[in-house]
Amino acid sequence: MGPLFHVREAHLPAGSLIQPGRWGATVLKRGEDHPFFFREHLLEIWRREKTSVIVSRFACTFAFESQEVARQWASQHEFVLPVFPADQLAPRARLDMLWITWMGEPGATTDKVAQWCAGYWAGRATTDIKPNARASWEWLFACPLRVA
């Protein structure tokens, strides 16, 4: 596996470790005031109840497979850092983030949200149902990431 790409508001030097759980802590700290609080809980319930995926979005580190996709997600004040998992044997999941984007679109029905949640946690590509979609592959790791 080549380098992956992590989006961060601060530049970190090579060798730095990015610890898991930061996203989850941010969402939980803000509670319902966080714009993705309920979405993240829905994803977590789905993962625990309907999949065998070990890695929780609340307790992981995130990395994009593509530098281009990472740059699209980064704000103008954020850095895109090349990273590797610190533990090559740690649990991980490769998932298409575009499913999550679709979950928040206007007019998304409960049935569609459930379908997209299932597609996300199954590791399916959004192109499986929409050939012109542009998959946004992310990796979730149950370990720190090391900056390359």
pTM, rounded to two decimals:
0.94
Torsion of CA 51, 57, 58, 63, to 10 degrees: 150
> pLDDT by residue for the chain (148 residues), tens digit each?
789 999 999 999 999 999 999 999 999 999 999 999 999 999 999 999 999 999 999 999 999 999 999 999 999 999 999 999 999 999 999 999 999 999 999 999 999 999 999 999 999 999 999 999 999 999 999 999 999 9
